[in-house]
Amino acid sequence: MADTRARTPRFNHVAMSVDRDLLGPEGRADLLRFCGDVFGWQELPMLTTDRKRLVLSAWTHEQFVFLHGSDEPMRCSPEDHFGLSVGTVS
């Protein structure tokens, strides 16, 4: 019998387009260092494609951040954002 109990909704994924250069070797290294140190996110290397895609596992197998390289990356106003709470300021 299937478990039908409701659970608290949780973050599944976030997908954003970014400038392709950010997903090159140097930019990826900076992103991985920052996201690892601050959030504890880890690269899923089997999903990484240079200058095209970077996928980061965010705490569990069902939570991830998908960055897609684009010639026309997402543009947002300063009011648009995605916020996370962290335990310490690094």
pTM across the whole model: 0.81
Which pLDDT band, with edges at 50, 70 and 90, does 1 fall under?
low
| 60-63, long-range: CB < 8 A, 24+ apart | 62/12, 63/10, 63/11, 63/12, 63/13
Q: Please write the tens of the pLDDT for every residue from 34-75.
A: 999 989 999 999 999 999 999 999 988 889 999 999 999 999
Q: Which domains does the chain have, with CATH numbers?
A: 13-70 (3.30.720)
